[in-house]
Structure 1
Amino acid sequence: MKNIHNFFLFASLILLAGCTPTFYHLRPASGDIAWIEGREVTRVEQNGVVLVASYEFEDTQHLVLDIEIKNRTSAPLLIDPNDFSYFPFEEKGDTLRNKYNPIYASTYRAADPERKIEQATLEIKRQKQRLIASSILNGVLLAATIASDIHSSNRNDRSWQQRANNRYAHAQAYNFIIQKQVVDINLQKARTNQLQHERANWQDMALRKTTLPAGESVRGLVFLPKDTRASYLWLNYESPSDSTAMRVKFLQEKVKPNH
């Protein structure tokens, strides 16, 4: 009996260990690397363009870098998040293959903030339309319930128990419709608030398309689609406007929280 107890205890520990979430972290592995205020930062420069990058955080879909670009040239420089991309690599140095078409190597382009803002704005409008549609449906249900209630109340061929049951059923129907309307409004409000928060983050925190004057700098977050298979990646910054092409290597580390 003791052996069986130990077996189930051991199995439970394995299951709990398997459920432990894994987090991912990027560490710079090329360029001029230094620690600044507790963060590892890398710096590369080419043709008067300086790129400074550090790891910021991870969300459900992205690994996020804090990027600063300094324009030390004599002309304006167009900065576009679409100019950032990366290739993921295995530990042995082989390029990871595309998940959907193994013939090609995997490559990922940074998320486009302008597109994300547009998508969030469109989804906010859709949420309002869904609330209008659900309110119309709730109105139709209420009208049908009222009609049924009036029709049932005018019938005199039912016993007292049948009329009581009928009143109870309609009261439940009224309560259901009211509760459904409250839930629909609260869900729409919660989802709209979430979308508005996401849109504000893309507007205020992300590195956005900017014409950077000479001698100026711009800073923001760059959201890289996550590939959990990678051991390291090469981040590429290629600016077609001035033929700048820089590469930075990052190690991708798996981190499990301490218990």
Structure 2
Amino acid sequence: MTRLVYLSRRLLLVSGITGLLVSCTPAQYVQLHPVSGPIAPVDGRLVTKASADSLEVVASFEREDMEYLALDIELKNRTATTIEINPADFQVELLNADRQPLTLPGTTNIRQAADPGYEAGRTEFNIKKEEKRLKTAKILNTVLLVAVVASDIASTSSRSTNRDYKSWANNRVSHDVAYNLIQAKRVIDHGVFVDRMQRYQFEGYRWRELALKRSLVHPGESVRGFVYLPKVKEAAFLNLSYPSTSGTSIQLLFEQTLTKARPK
């Protein structure tokens, strides 16, 4: 009986943690607006551009994407030589409302754009890790079920020598609760697995199909894709930069605003 009570408490703890209410704080959505260079509306987006050493960067804010801000970036090679483009070379400087470096405790105000190759590999690792987690959860659920069944059988067989109906009824209720909790845990485990796998599959698609790829761009050609910047809501401005062949950085400034209305 003591073991059954222990198992029931463990299962209740799992269910309780999973059932915590989501914070009621209203969601805030990020918007970026270019404030430097020639700005023009194109297909409903404000587009800006800057260049250095005959390398031109055209940029517009696409959307907030989980922990990232996605910018639609096109790089045009107007030089006479082939240039290697690496999206991880994009940097963003976080600025405050006075356009001065933003001070954040324990961290720098310079952030790197995501490296699609590295992130794709990390997503594959997370998928394998999640599959392993579900397998472990299934084993644990089986162990818990075996323990409850054994306790149930022992309790039922002892009924003939125990005429205390109240004690037997309490045992019956405890076992029924344990069975229900195990079933609930199975449902929760599977639900968490499905949710995480859907996220990881989307992330894999994002890095494989949407992100700007590391590539060689020949003279007169261009390459386009999404560059993913880490999201920092405390910043008022983001100064995006990309190094040119001479080492001079191409810079584009965006103002960051927060809104409670989801962007269309």
TM-score normalised over the length of structure 2: 0.77
Identity percentage over the alignment?
A: 37
Choose from 238, 255, 261 the match for 1:257. Answer: 261
Choose from 245, 248, 256 the match for 2:249. Answer: 245
1:140 partnered with 2:146:
no
Q: Which one-letter code corresponds to 2:250 in the other structure?
A: M
Give the match for residue 177 of structure 1.
182
Whether contact under 8 Å (2:244, 2:250) holds in the other structure is: no
Q: How does 1:13-162 map to 2 (within 5 A)?
A: 21-100=27-106, 106-155=109-158, 156-159=160-163, 161=165, 162=167
Of 50-59 and 157-166, the range deviating more from structure 2: 157-166
Supply the RMSD in Å over aligned alpha carbons: 2.7
Give the match for residue 3 of structure 1.
none
Of 221-230 and 127-136, the range deviating more from structure 2: 221-230
CA deviation after TM superposition for structure 1 residue 249, in Å = 2.0
3-state SS, counterpart of residue 207 of structure 1? coil
Question: Quick one: structure 1 residues 141 and 109, their matched pair in 2 at CA, closer, same or farther if it must change by over 3 Å?
Answer: same
Q: State the distance in 2 between where 1:72 and 1:249 align.
A: 22
Give the match for residue 217 of structure 2.
212
Q: Which one-letter code corresponds to 2:57 in the other structure?
A: L
Count of residues in correspondence between the two structures: 237
Q: Which one-letter code corresponds to 1:36 in the other structure?
A: V
Question: Quick one: structure 1 residues 252 and 160, their matched pair in 2 at CA, closer, same or farther if it must change by over 3 Å?
Answer: closer
CA deviation after TM superposition for structure 1 residue 164, in Å = 5.2
Q: Which one-letter code corresponds to 1:236 in the other structure?
A: S
Q: State the distance in 1 between where 2:241 and 2:227 align.
A: 12
Q: Which one-letter code corresponds to 1:251 in the other structure?
A: E
CA deviation after TM superposition for structure 1 residue 246, in Å = 0.9
Give the match for residue 226 of structure 1.
231
CA deviation after TM superposition for structure 1 residue 129, in Å = 1.3
TM-score normalised over the length of structure 1: 0.79
Question: Quick one: structure 1 residues 113 and 165, their matched pair in 2 at CA, closer, same or farther if it must change by over 3 Å?
Answer: same
CA deviation after TM superposition for structure 1 residue 60, in Å = 4.7
CA deviation after TM superposition for structure 1 residue 177, in Å = 2.1
Question: Quick one: structure 1 residues 181 and 44, their matched pair in 2 at CA, closer, same or farther if it must change by over 3 Å?
Answer: same
Question: Quick one: structure 1 residues 169 and 205, their matched pair in 2 at CA, closer, same or farther if it must change by over 3 Å?
Answer: same
Question: Quick one: structure 1 residues 228 and 175, their matched pair in 2 at CA, closer, same or farther if it must change by over 3 Å?
Answer: closer
* Gap regions ≥5 residues in structure 1: 1-18
CA deviation after TM superposition for structure 1 residue 157, in Å = 0.6
Q: State the distance in 1 between where 2:100 and 2:195 align.
A: 44
Whether contact under 8 Å (1:83, 1:239) holds in the other structure is: no
* Gap regions ≥5 residues in structure 2: 1-24
Question: Quick one: structure 1 residues 36 and 132, their matched pair in 2 at CA, closer, same or farther if it must change by over 3 Å?
Answer: same
Q: State the distance in 1 between where 2:127 and 2:29 align.
A: 30
